[in-house]
Amino acid sequence: MAKKALTITLYVSEILVQVKNKAFLTGRSRDNGNNNEEVAHMQASDDDEDEMQLLNSIGNAFATLKSKLSEFLTLTPTTSNNVLIDGETNLTLALSLPSNYNQSTADAITRGCDQYLVDMTLSEWFNITNKADADGYLNKASADLAIIREAAHKRVRPVRSDPTATSGSEQL
């Protein structure tokens, strides 16, 4: 049976922006005037050490995502390494889906993958900086994965052919 290919490209630079914005908003929402230093440490800044941690977390999340979606992946590398990704890296998922896969869910799969990486990265970040927020992002990542899997399993309904229709040549 023929398969449908879906290639998803995720831009690390975009994931970094989302992570930093969400971490900033979370930190700002915790600022009650008495915890400025705590809030400042919660925010993912442009410091090299923070960026290295975020890139490492994105790499970890991407490896986990590939493992969770392995039934759909077409890439089967024979080698691997632990080289840290950078902000210019593009992460690619080449999925092979059943021929009756409903292509209208491609955007849901793509956004779900993007949000999974963001939420897993934030979970790991807050696990270091504010454990109270880490579980919330881990739960969101689990929900993201459920959305991805549901969208990947959507199928086009078969259409019954009309048995009374003629095929161009009538039999007498």
CB-hemisphere CA count at 13 Å for 165?
4
In a domain, 129, yes or no: yes
**pLDDT tens-digit map of 12-38:** 999 999 998 888 877 777 766 666 565
pLDDT digits (tens, 9 = 90+) for 157-170: 777 777 776 655 55
Residue 172's pLDDT band, with cuts at 50, 70 and 90, is very low
- Confirm whether 44 is domain-assigned: yes
Instruction: Give domain status of residue 169, yes or no.
Output: no
Residue 24 resides in a domain: yes
Burial 87-110 (b: 16+ CB within 10 A, else e): eebebebebebeeebbeebbebbb
Considering only residues 171 and 69, tell me which one the structure prediction assigns the higher pLDDT. Answer: 69
pTM for the model: 0.81
Q: Answer yes or no: is 113 within a domain.
A: yes
Give the span between the Cα atoms of 28 and 50, in whole angstroms.
Answer: 18
In a domain, 97, yes or no: yes
Angle at 95 between CA 97 and CA 63, to 5 degrees: 135
Counted domains in the chain: 1
Lowest mean pLDDT of 75-79, 109-113, 114-118, 119-123, name the range: 75-79
Q: Which domain holds residue 147?
A: 3-30+38-75+84-152
Residue 159 domain-assigned (yes or no): no
Q: Does residue 115 lie within any of the structural domains?
A: yes
Segment 52-56 shows an average pLDDT of 90
